[in-house]
Amino acid sequence: MAYTRRVRVANELGAGNGKGAKFAAIVSVSESAVIGVFFLLIIMFFNNELALLFTSSQAVLQEYSKLSLLLAFTILLNSVQPILSGVAVGSGWQAHVAYINLGCYYLLGLPLGVLMGGVFHQGIMGIWAGMIFGGTAIQTLILVIITMRCDWDKEV
C-alpha cells in the first residue's frame, strides 16, 4: 500500500495539485490507521483464540499472552508508518526519510532495546518494546509532524 500511496502523492504533486496531494495523504494515513486499529482490536479481544490456531503448547501460549499487547501495537504502528514513509518519499523527501529511519532505529531503537532487554533483564519483551518505542513509534511521530506541517501548495 505504501508504494501506491507514494505514487498517488507524487502524481498529484506532479500535476500541480497541492490540495489533491494533501487529501491523498490524509485519506491514506486515515485508512491505514483504521485498518491498524481493526487488527489491534482483533488481537486484543481474540488473544487466546488466535494463538490456539497455531499451537497447543501451554508454554508458547503463555509467552504469546505476555507479548500480545506488543504485537497489537506493532501492527498498529506498522500500518501507519510505511504509509507516512511512502507519502514522504512521494513528496521527494527521500533523504529526510532515510535519516529519520537510521536515527530512530539505530540511534534510539536498538540501544533502547538492548538497555531494556539486557540491562533491565526484560528479555524479548524489553528488546521488542525498545524497538517499538525507540524505532517505530518515534519515527511515526516525526513523520506525522512533518506531514502535518507540510505546505502542499509550496511542494508543487
Q: Residue 109 has what DSSP assignment?
A: I
CB 146 within 8 A of CB 88: yes
> Which pLDDT does position 47 carry in this prediction?
87
Mark residue 29 as left, alpha or beta (left: phi above 0; alpha: psi -120 to 50; beta: remaining).
alpha
**For cell 504533486, what's the residue?**
13
Q: Calculate mean pLDDT across residues 134-153.
A: 94
Q: Which three cell numbers stand for residue 119?
A: 540491562
Q: Calculate mean pLDDT across residues 90-94.
A: 90
Domain enclosing residue 102, as ranges:
2-155
Instruction: Note the pTM of the prediction, 2 decimals.
Output: 0.90
> Which pLDDT does position 104 carry in this prediction?
96
For the chain, the domain total comes to 1
